[in-house]
Homo-oligomer: A and B are copies of this chain.
Amino acid sequence: MVPDAYPHDPVPVGSDSGPGLFSESARVEIFSDGVIAIAITLLVLDLKIPEGEPGTVAHRLLEQWPAYLAYLASFIYLGVVWVNHHALFTRISRVDNGVLWRNLAMLLAMSVFPFPTATLAYAMQHGTHGDQVVALSLYGLIISAMGVTWMIMFFYLEQRRDLLSDDLAPGFFREERRRAALGILSPVVAVAIGVVVPAVALFVFLLIPIFYGLTTEGWTPPRRKA
């Protein structure tokens, strides 16, 4: 039940808010989709042309295997994040500045992703054991930071239920917070494994988003109450 007159006076969805066709929520989602689509596509720039001595292209392509794994892991992460971001915004019916800035923080963590990915790929190929642990830690740090931005959004939305669809299932955020917590903590496990065998940590980083994807409630919008 959304009260008609709310103290904070958020933007009513579907209201005739100026000339736009879109609801405010849709606009935020379109911009966010754009940022995620660009970040996920920029990842390919982390794959390096196999330049060097003639006759070594095959060798150089193969020795770049950590770059492929890191690319794949980051692609799946951002893909899963996109699905979850969409799922979240189908629950939001009104957007206020609080949502806007928290969403920008989420986009910041997503759009920086090509950097730790490239660093990880570089260190796994050319770095010492110490370099690799550092790069794994940076990669894990960004994933954890992303989870933190989601957690911040969840806490905000729980206190501003007037911004949410009124048919939202009661347990939604409890479930979602559990998943965000997993996102914050799982990199710690991967990095801990990486201290022992860095290459294995790379595979763990690949498995985490696959697990996420398999368990995501994903695209399906909330069940109507009735």
A38 cross-chain contacts in B, Cβ below 8 A: 34, 37-38, 41-42
User: Are B49 and A122 closer than 8 Å at their CB atoms?
Assistant: yes
- Tell me the minimal C-beta distance from A43 to chain B in angstroms: 8
A172 cross-chain contacts in B, Cβ below 8 A: none
In the complex, A97 has a CB within 8 A of chain B:
yes
In the complex, A25 has a CB within 8 A of chain B:
yes
- Tell me the minimal C-beta distance from A27 to chain B in angstroms: 6
A100 vs B27: C-alpha distance in the bound complex, in angstroms? 20
Smallest CB-CB separation from A46: which chain B residue? B49
Q: Interface residues of A, CB < 8 Å — how many? A: 90
In the complex, A152 has a CB within 8 A of chain B:
no
- Tell me the minimal C-beta distance from A159 to chain B in angstroms: 18
User: Are A122 and B50 closer than 8 Å at their CB atoms?
Assistant: yes
User: Are A213 and B91 closer than 8 Å at their CB atoms?
Assistant: no
- Tell me the minimal C-beta distance from A141 to chain B in angstroms: 11
A219 vs B163: C-alpha distance in the bound complex, in angstroms? 14
The CB with the most chain B CB atoms within 10 A, among A44, A113, A138, is that of A44
A112 vs B112: C-alpha distance in the bound complex, in angstroms? 19
A91 vs B57: C-alpha distance in the bound complex, in angstroms? 42
A135 cross-chain contacts in B, Cβ below 8 A: 57
A112 cross-chain contacts in B, Cβ below 8 A: 44, 47, 71
Q: Which of A82-90, A174-182, A187-195 contacts B (4 or more CB under 8 A)?
A: A82-90
- Top 3 A-B pairs ranked by shortest CB distance? A18-B90, A34-B37, A57-B131
